[in-house]
Structure 1
Amino acid sequence: MGLWRIRATVDDRPGYLSVLTASLALRSVNILAVQVHTTEGGAVDDFLVDAPDTMTEPELHAAIERGRGRDAFVVRAEAQGLADQPTRALALAGRLVHDPDSLGEALVTLLDAAEARWRPAGTVVLHGFDEERMTLIDPAGGTYEVLRPAPAFTPAEYARAQALVEVGGALVRRTAEQTTLLLPDGTELLIRAATGDDVDGVRRLLARSSAQTRRRRYLGVTHGPSDARLRRMLEPSSGLTLLAVRVDPAGEEQVVATASLLVEGDLGEVALLVEDAWQRRGIGTALLRRLISAAQRMNASAIVAHVGADNVAMLRTLRRFGVTGRDDRDGALLSLTLPIPGTGRRTAPDETPAASG
Structure 2
Amino acid sequence: MNEISDSSRPSGPPHAQTLRDGRVVRIRDIAPSDRSAERAFIEGLSDESRRHRFLAQLKSPDDKLLDSLVNIDARREAALVAVVSYEGTERIVGAARFSMASPDAVDGECAVVVADDWQDQGLGTALVRDLAERARARGLRRMYSMDLAGNADMRELASHLGFRARVDPGDASLIIHELVL
- TM-score normalised by structure 2 residue count: 0.84
Q: Distance in 2 between matches of 1:337 and 1:259?
A: 15
For residue 224 of structure 1, report the CA deviation from its aligned partner.
Answer: 4.8
1:183 aligns with 2:19: yes
Matched with 2:50 is: 214
Instruction: Verify the 8 A CA contact 1:301 1:339 in the aligned structure 2.
Output: yes
For residue 196 of structure 1, report the CA deviation from its aligned partner.
Answer: 1.1
More helix per residue: 1 or 2? 1
Q: Secondary structure at the match of 2:100?
A: strand
1:223-267 Cα offsets, whole Å, 9 max, x none, are 35422332222232111111111114x642111111111123111
Q: Secondary structure at the match of 1:337?
A: strand
Q: Which runs of 5+ in 1 are unaligned?
A: 1-174, 341-357
Which one is further off, 198-207 or 216-225? 216-225
Q: Which amino acid in structure 2 is aligned with residue 232 of structure 1? A: S
Instruction: Verify the 8 A CA contact 1:206 1:224 in the aligned structure 2.
Output: yes
1:295 aligns with 2:135: yes
Q: Distance in 1 between matches of 2:12 and 2:134?
A: 12
Q: Number of residues paired by the alignment?
A: 165
Q: Distance in 2 between matches of 1:326 and 1:228?
A: 31
Matched with 1:244 is: 82
For residue 176 of structure 1, report the CA deviation from its aligned partner.
Answer: 4.0
Q: Which runs of 5+ in 2 are unaligned?
A: 1-10
Q: Of the two structures, which has the highest relative contact order with CA contacts closer than 8 Å and spacing of 6 or more?
A: 2
- TM-score normalised by structure 1 residue count: 0.44
1:254 aligns with 2:95: no
Q: Distance in 2 between matches of 1:193 and 1:257?
A: 12
Q: Which has the larger radius of gyration?
A: 1
Q: Which amino acid in structure 2 is aligned with residue 228 of structure 1? A: K
Equivalent position to 1:227, from 17, 38, 63: 63
Q: Which amino acid in structure 1 is aligned with residue 90 of structure 2? A: E
1:315-357 Cα offsets, whole Å, 9 max, x none, are 11112222236443513211121111xxxxxxxxxxxxxxxxx
Instruction: Verify the 8 A CA contact 2:141 2:180 in the aligned structure 1.
Output: yes
Alignment of 1:44-193 (within 5 A): 176-193=12-29
Instruction: Verify the 8 A CA contact 1:247 1:254 in the aligned structure 2.
Output: yes
Instruction: Verify the 8 A CA contact 1:256 1:275 in the aligned structure 2.
Output: yes
Alignment of 1:269-288 (within 5 A): 269-288=109-128
